[in-house]
Chain A
Amino acid sequence: AQTVTQSQPEMSVQEAETVTLSCTYDTSESNYYLFWYKQPPSRQMILVIRQEAYKQQNATENRFSVNFQKAAKSFSLKISDSQLGDTAMYFCAFMKHNMYSGGGADGLTFGKGTHLIIQP
């Protein structure tokens, strides 16, 4: 079974600063996907960024980028020029993709989340 660990329960930074959220995972799979989701107080789960493990290039989405280190099983999220609207819970998630058994992926495995607070 896979596990996802987010070691920072809460972080607080000033507006416009850069912040990095940590995520490590444990798996024996070689082909998988990694995600970061944002959950604001509205509780809606919003996809921030997605990374395919076979791609070495780190994914980026505007102010959001990841540092994917496959050998270290690390997948950190960097938020540049942080904004008040970035205040939310952030969840790291893992999904395996076993291509040799009909694609059974067993869904997303989530970390426990990091509560990010952007201070004005």
Chain B
Amino acid sequence: NAGVTQTPKFQVLKTGQSMTLQCAQDMNHEYMSWYRQDPGMGLRLIHYSVGAGITDQGEVPNGYNVSRSTTEDFPLRLLSAAPSQTSVYFCASSYSIGGPQYFGPGTRLTVL
């Protein structure tokens, strides 16, 4: 199993550009989520999904969209990038709510 994979590993954007961060898992996990990690802030939940076709907002959803058309994939879209979105982004999955969460390697995003 590859576990949770994220692409790209690094990305630099200009203010106003859009992009999609990819997340995939091959463990047939129903629960997937996106977090951002800022210095001194710990990780904060952006969006999550409890299964294909079902998504919901977390603590910091503004400026981000998600969809879940398959069990395996959970992409995160930045609609119009802003410098405040400079962060490290982590995708995670688990077989159930409350189960061990497996994290991807992260994407370091810089918005100029």
| A residues apposed to B, CB below 8 Å | 4, 32-33, 35, 37, 43-47, 50, 52, 91, 93, 95, 97, 102-113
B74 an interface residue at 8 Å Cβ cutoff? Answer: no
Convert B17-38 into 0s and 1s, putting 1 for each residue whose CB lies closer than 8 angstroms to a CB of A: 0000000000000010101000
Closest to B50 in A: A103
- What are 22 pairs between A and B in contact, CB < 8 Å? A33-B98, A35-B101, A43-B105, A43-B106, A44-B103, A45-B43, A45-B92, A47-B100, A47-B101, A91-B43, A93-B43, A97-B97, A103-B97, A105-B31, A105-B97, A106-B48, A107-B58, A108-B92, A110-B43, A111-B42, A112-B41, A113-B42
Closest 5 A/B residue pairs (Cβ): A45-B103, A107-B45, A110-B42, A105-B97, A33-B98
Contact size range, B: 20 to 34
**Complex CA distance for A106 and B45, rounded to whole angstroms:** 8
Kindly count the residue-residue contacts between A and B in the assembled complex, taking CB atoms under 8 Å apart.
65
Which residues of B line the A interface, CB within 8 A? Answer: 31, 33, 35, 40-45, 48, 50, 56, 58-59, 88, 90, 92, 97-98, 100-103, 105-106
Question: Could you say which of B40, B56, B90, B106 contacts A104, with CB atoms under 8 Å apart?
Answer: B56
Report B59 CB to chain A, min CB distance, Å. 8
A32 to B, closest residue via Cβ: B98
Closest to B57 in A: A106
- From residue A88, how far is it (CB to closest CB) to chain B in Å? 14
A104 contacts across to B, CB distance below 8 A: 50, 56, 97
Known pairs A47-B101, A106-B48; list 11 more (Cβ under 8 Å): A44-B103, A44-B106, A52-B98, A93-B43, A97-B98, A104-B97, A105-B31, A106-B45, A107-B35, A112-B40, A113-B42
